[in-house]
């Protein structure tokens, strides 16, 4: 299965999950620092204080990417490292750090793909209300302009946000992620402010003196299946698809909220004010898809959120995180997004799996399950491309095992094992396997093989 010429093969990462150095060289506190320093929030009281120590070991990790033959790398910038208070003064040492990282990638012919915001909001901005506060849209615009101004000569491809749905829902509705709030009204306001910030962020990047090659966002997506063929369940699946896959995509691309709740108009639900939708409309140059699995839903009138209940299908085929292995989800979503947004290039900005395999006595990590997962998902990706989806790159989540948010260091998603006590890295069997795919731009897979 050959992939299109010039296809990008990379890994994806996020500042908070790998950098560590949480209070070094002038960095400000982020909501994830505060959250992980609060007892009871993270499994085994893990923090991101050191994480993979990427702040000091970036050269080694970038060398590994080059040795694996990867040609692109997705990283994110820490807002509080660049602007400790979230607004006002800039931290030159933070800017210098990212210049060094970007220079290292460029020197090794690895294209940097940079996300402005992968969840580490400066704590001072949470202290004035966080994302539900409309002022944050403007502060975000200023931050985006500064990133473009100082780093734009080194970055061609920007992503404004990583998974806006996840950080608004888990952070403000469910409370499982920072800042740990459980407030439906705040969550709805946060969603709208993030949509405003996205529109302003896209413009700020495009108006910068260094013109970007392309601006997009990495959206969390899942292929939504109805639990049964009933009309009600199918309608529930449509509602859920619009809510979790399109809430930040239809808005930026089409300047309108998708219809998700028949009981309430979006204008009322999101407190849309005059002129907001004009700000929000800022069509992206590419769509980033982060996809791990599918979601099965049923209609349930007793459920407050859209009358939708999630159903957990019976299957033994789950990763160590408990996420269902469902490779066809990738082709289903790629084809559905390609159909809904014709002419817009797609990139898989995240896909991967958590398996806990550790090094054997010989130092080798025999993570066959990850290789099997990747083979099947990539075969589905190839099928989607054959069927017409314009997918131009794939970023595996992730290079090194890292801080997996509320799970702490329990879930290992890396192609490279990280021993968090010694910071020693071990390239897993899957890393070598992925290197072969990247170098040959092809996957060894019999199309007749049963999935
Ligand atoms: C995604 C996040 C990423 C990582 C993976 C496993 O939702 O974007 O940071 O945690 O899940």
Residue nearest to atom 10 of ligand 1 (CA): 404
Q: pLDDT value at position 451?
A: 62
Q: pLDDT value at position 89?
A: 98
Query: Per-residue pLDDT averaged across 187-195, rounded?
Result: 98
Instruction: Return the ligand 1 atom nearest residue 405 CA.
Output: 10
Establish whether residue 162 lines the binding site of ligand 1, counting it when its CB lies within 6 angstroms of any ligand atom: yes
- pTM of the shown model: 0.98
For the chain, list the domains and their CATH numbers.
8-440 (3.20.20.80)
pLDDT band of residue 449 (cuts 50, 70, 90) is confident
Ligand 1 centroid to residue 118 C-alpha, Å:
9
Instruction: Return the ligand 1 atom nearest residue 404 CA.
Output: 10
Give residue-wise pLDDT tens across range 310-319: 999 999 999 9
Give residue-wise pLDDT tens across range 20-69: 999 999 999 999 999 999 999 999 999 999 999 999 999 999 999 999 99
Q: Interhelix angle for 135-151 vs 92-107, to 10°?
A: 50
Q: pLDDT value at position 102?
A: 99
Pairwise CA distance, residues 96 & 55, whole Å: 11
Q: What are phi and psi of 67, to 5 degrees?
A: -65, -30
Ligand 1 centroid to residue 394 C-alpha, Å:
15
Ligand 1 centroid to residue 229 C-alpha, Å:
31
- Report the residue among 51, 245, 397, 407 best suited for mutation to probe ligand 1: largest number of ligand atoms under 8 A from its CB: 397
Q: pLDDT value at position 261?
A: 85
Pairwise CA distance, residues 410 & 401, whole Å: 10
| Beta-sheet pairing, 286-299 with 308-311 | antiparallel
Ligand 1 centroid to residue 411 C-alpha, Å:
11
Query: Per-residue pLDDT averaged across 381-395, rounded?
Result: 98
Query: Per-residue pLDDT averaged across 184-198, rounded?
Result: 97
Give residue-wise pLDDT tens across range 410-439: 999 999 999 999 999 999 999 999 999 999
- Report the residue among 404, 407, 409, 410 best suited for mutation to probe ligand 1: largest number of ligand atoms under 8 A from its CB: 404
Tokens found for residue 367:
């993570």
Give residue-wise pLDDT tens across range 328-350: 999 999 999 999 999 999 999 99
Q: What is the CA radius of gyration of the chain?
A: 21
Q: Are 398 and 339 in contact (CB under 8 A)?
A: no
**Torsion angle in degrees (nearest 10) through CA of 380, 383, 387, 390:** 70
Ligand 1 centroid to residue 75 C-alpha, Å:
12
Establish whether residue 243 lines the binding site of ligand 1, counting it when its CB lies within 6 angstroms of any ligand atom: no
3-state SS class at 35 = helix
Establish whether residue 120 lines the binding site of ligand 1, counting it when its CB lies within 6 angstroms of any ligand atom: no
Q: For residue 138, with 0-12 CB atoms within 10 Å meaning exposed, 13-18 middle and 19 or more buried, which class applies? A: middle
Establish whether residue 413 lines the binding site of ligand 1, counting it when its CB lies within 6 angstroms of any ligand atom: yes
The fraction of the chain above a pLDDT of 70, given in percent, is: 100
| 207 is annotated as an active-site residue | no
CA angle at residue 129 from 51 to 82, to 5 degrees? 45
Give residue-wise pLDDT tens across range 248-283: 999 999 999 999 987 888 889 999 999 999 999 999
pLDDT at 15 over 70: yes
Q: How far is CA 251 from CA 144, 151, 173, 207, in A?
A: 19, 27, 20, 21
Beta carbons within 8 Å of 271's beta carbon, 6+ residues apart? 188, 189, 192
User: How many CB atoms sit inside 10 A of residue 130's CB?
Assistant: 21
User: How many CB atoms sit inside 10 A of residue 425's CB?
Assistant: 20
Pairwise CA distance, residues 296 & 305, whole Å: 15
Establish whether residue 405 lines the binding site of ligand 1, counting it when its CB lies within 6 angstroms of any ligand atom: yes
Q: pLDDT value at position 450?
A: 67
User: Active site residue: 19, 104, 126, 163, which one?
Assistant: 163
Q: Are 366 and 429 in contact (CB under 8 A)?
A: yes
- Report the residue among 350, 354, 373, 404 best suited for mutation to probe ligand 1: largest number of ligand atoms under 8 A from its CB: 350
Instruction: Return the ligand 1 atom nearest residue 119 CA.
Output: 9
pLDDT at 129 over 80: yes
User: Active site residue: 29, 111, 324, 350, which one?
Assistant: 350
Ligand 1 centroid to residue 30 C-alpha, Å:
18
Ligand 1 centroid to residue 405 C-alpha, Å:
8
Q: What are phi and psi of 247, to 5 degrees?
A: -60, -30
């Amino acid at each position: 299965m050959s992939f299109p010429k010039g296809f990008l093969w990379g890994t994806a990462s996020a500042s908070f999950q790998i950098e560590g150095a949480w209070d070094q060289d002038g960095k400000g506190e982020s909501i994830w620092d505060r959250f992980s320093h609060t007892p009871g929030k993270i499994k085994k009281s893990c923090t991101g204080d050191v994480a993979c120590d990427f702040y000091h070991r970036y050269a080694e990790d970038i060398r590994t990417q080059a040795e694996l033959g990867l040609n692109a790398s997705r990283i994110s910038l820490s807002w509080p490292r660049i602007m400790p208070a979230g607004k006002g003064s800039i931290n030159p040492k933070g800017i210098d750090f990212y210049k060094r990282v970007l220079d290292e990638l460029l020197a090794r012919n690895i294209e940097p793909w940079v996300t402005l915001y992968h969840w580490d909001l400066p704590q001072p901005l949470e202290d004035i209300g966080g994302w539900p506060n409309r002022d944050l849209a403007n502060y975000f615009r200023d931050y985006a302009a500064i990133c473009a101004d100082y780093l734009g000569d080194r970055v061609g491809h920007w992503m404004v946000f990583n998974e806006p749905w996840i950080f608004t829902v888990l952070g403000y509705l469910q409370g499982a992620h920072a800042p740990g709030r459980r407030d439906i009204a705040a969550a709805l306001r946060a969603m709208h402010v993030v949509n405003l910030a996205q529109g302003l962020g896209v413009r700020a990047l495009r108006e910068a003196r260094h013109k970007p090659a392309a601006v997009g966002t990495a959206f969390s997506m899942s292929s939504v299946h109805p639990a049964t063929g009933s009309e009600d369940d199918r309608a529930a699946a449509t509602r859920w698809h619009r809510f979790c896959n399109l809430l930040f995509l239809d808005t930026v691309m089409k300047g309108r909220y998708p219809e998700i709740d028949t009981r309430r108009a979006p204008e009322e639900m999101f407190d849309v004010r005059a002129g907001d939708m004009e700000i929000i409309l800022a069509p992206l140059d590419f769509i980033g898809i982060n996809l791990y699995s599918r979601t099965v839903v049923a209609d349930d009138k007793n459920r407050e959120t859209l009358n939708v209940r999630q159903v957990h299908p019976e299957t033994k085929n789950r990763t160590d995180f408990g996420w269902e292995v469902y490779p066809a989800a990738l082709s289903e979503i790629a084809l559905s997004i390609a159909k809904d947004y014709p002419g817009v290039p797609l990139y898989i900005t995240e896909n991967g799996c958590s398996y806990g395999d550790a090094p054997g006595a010989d130092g080798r990590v025999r993570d066959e399950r990850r290789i099997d997962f990747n083979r099947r998902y990539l075969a589905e990706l190839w099928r989607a491309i054959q069927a017409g989806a314009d997918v131009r790159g794939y970023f595996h989540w992730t290079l090194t095992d890292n801080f997996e948010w509320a799970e702490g260091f329990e879930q290992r998603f890396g192609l490279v094992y990280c021993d968090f006590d010694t910071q020693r890295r071990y390239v897993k069997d899957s890393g070598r396997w992925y290197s072969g795919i990247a170098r040959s731009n092809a996957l060894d897979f019999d199309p007749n093989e049963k999935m």
